[in-house]
Structure 1
């Protein structure tokens, strides 16, 4: 940081599962090594060494213990948890999350920058992994609670001084739902693993396409399997989830379910595939396409969400718009023809992937924070 070495705090929604948001948090921890982390729920066994090495502050009252046990059933308590955090000793607050962390209370003397992965999907009609809230006996309560949470969410979104969005898609959602402007800084992706991968082709006999990610209903992996069932092409699927048993029953002999793999095994399959299929609708960002790019592999994706601003048609991949078995069959045939006729340059795709590295994120985020901090000091001294 520049000019005055502000006291920094980081606020995140939860620390109970490790994913892309936590990798972004790790990069922030490296930028602000002295900053404590405030959060609602913390499960050390789910976190990385970098995160566990930090001072982590959680609610220590009955409400906090209740949230730790049944967080998804007590979303209505979350606003009061974050609004109760005392951040008065800090000059700069950086929040990172989707729903709650942006709501912390600050004073005009403090600067609050919110890195947002998406406005809460469950409040604004986007598909989510959990289906509990859609069961008939929850619906009346959920509708009532969600209405009040949307009102609160809009109010809370007026609190940060600046928003940073993780993609063009999220920038648009921030303006749509909050009427706030945001600056886009892509989250850090471990592209170095793909760029430097030196794997082998052990046990790989036929050319294949690849799908990878959690096997949840909204990921639309079933449509890809149904499409490949109708074609003479090989498909391999990496990942586990609630839909796994159903998808295994659906798959024909040309579709192989690989389950959960080590990072090395995962990268081996990406390295040796023809391309990656990404059928998710309205994805917030899209780490999977970036991982594919780091191996020089093109991506065929649904034209929506984060990938719409990341994939460059004819250069790093292609899009399809019809999210049906027939639509995917047609798109895969066109994509396959381009792949086999070498229409994509692996070296150029790899070079494109470099902009999503952790180093680039840290450089851009540091520059943004420094500029905001300078403006903040100027306004205080005016």
Structure 2
């Protein structure tokens, strides 16, 4: 790739999730590119980003912002527009909300890796399920989504290339923005996992934040009623309710280290994935350990699971549907090496290769069209 001035823009860097791992890979691809974001919590940065050059906005100085960052949703559009990346040749935004609204220069190419259209405005009720705020605050928030929706739609029109992370996100982008986006699946750090020799232990596994929309209650009740052993790794606001639903065969371990998670994945019968996710990296991590998945037939799981080869689907988000699938799990012969090879198709190397390809093609298209006069000014 020719010598370009490149900037990476991300919504906010205050957690260690899948989106932040994408930013880490983009940083690996372009280590000299500074990262611009609204706020950063340096105590929660991935190790790969600890030494990156990270620029924040004035929102970083708001008292308590790192703990209450979701409540300031109405400020992020102003914050992201204050970021000055107009002098960069290539802007790579990593966005599920605001980053794609960054201002660019007349000659800049903006490529946005989109996790989903802004969930807060396009799927308000689902988004608010996981936020504990008074009813009045939710009502006021709902009034504010209409100008945000217009803002978000307008921003999508100024992005040169939108990339979807999965088929379901591609469909949402088409519905919300009217754009036919290509798909590049997020990178899975498969090298961190390995297949363990021997038979698995007699337990199913959940690895998840414990929030209501993840539908962990389905796994708990299905395993309780079936008398199947289930280990739950993770924590969150829904934990107390889930513990009240759990029978004697359910064990809650809370948060565990990465090493412990790998060990539990290597030894489980299968990972249960009962929610609807935009993609879902955790199932592929379990696959990288050679273990199959039991997942709801929807969302990103449709892109990552080969039925009866790398996992099983249950067709309804109900206890009975999941219980029926769990009860027939032992009828299948699972090949750990085949499952591992499937996960390798979603590796970091594949992600980098596909991102480089689409960036190159976008740059070539921009060069071909560079003779077309640009409008005065920039947006």
User: Are 2:65 and 1:65 equivalent residues in the alignment?
Assistant: no
CA distance in 2, matches of 1:58, 1:272: 42
Give the counterpart of 1:270 among 256, 265, 268: 265
> 1:152 maps to which residue?
151
In structure 2, do the counterparts of structure 1 residues 265 and 218 end up closer, same or farther at CA, with 3 Å as the change threshold?
A: same
> 2:298 maps to which residue?
304
CA distance in 1, matches of 2:63, 2:176: 27
> 2:376 maps to which residue?
none
Q: Tell me the SS of whatever aligns to 2:75.
A: helix
Give the counterpart of 1:21 among 19, 22, 28: 19
2:21–2:46 Cα contact (<8 Å) kept:
no
Shift of 1:102: 0.3
CA distance in 1, matches of 2:305, 2:127: 23
Shift of 1:122: 2.2
1:41–1:68 Cα contact (<8 Å) kept:
no
Structure 2 residue runs without a partner (length 5+): 373-379
CA distance in 2, matches of 1:306, 1:15: 23
User: Are 2:235 and 1:240 equivalent residues in the alignment?
Assistant: yes
Q: Tell me the SS of whatever aligns to 1:376.
A: helix
> 1:92 maps to which residue?
90
Structure 1 residue runs without a partner (length 5+): none
> 2:216 maps to which residue?
221
1:219–1:280 Cα contact (<8 Å) kept:
yes
How many pairs align?
369
| Aligned pairs (5 A) from 1:190-339 | 190-194=189-193, 196=194, 207-281=202-276, 283-338=277-332
Q: Tell me the SS of whatever aligns to 1:164.
A: strand
Moved over 4 A (4+): 197-201
CA distance in 1, matches of 2:177, 2:64: 29
> After the TM superposition, which of the residue ranges 248-257 and 152-161 deviates more from structure 2?
248-257
CA distance in 1, matches of 2:340, 2:244: 36
In structure 2, do the counterparts of structure 1 residues 178 and 79 end up closer, same or farther at CA, with 3 Å as the change threshold?
A: same
| Aligned pairs (5 A) from 1:362-377 | 362-377=352-367
| Aligned pairs (5 A) from 1:30-45 | 30-45=28-43
Q: Tell me the SS of whatever aligns to 1:332.
A: helix
Give the counterpart of 2:350 among 340, 350, 360: 360
CA RMSD of aligned residues (A): 2.0
CA distance in 2, matches of 1:264, 1:71: 29
Structure 1 length normalisation: TM-score? 0.91
Shift of 1:197: 5.0
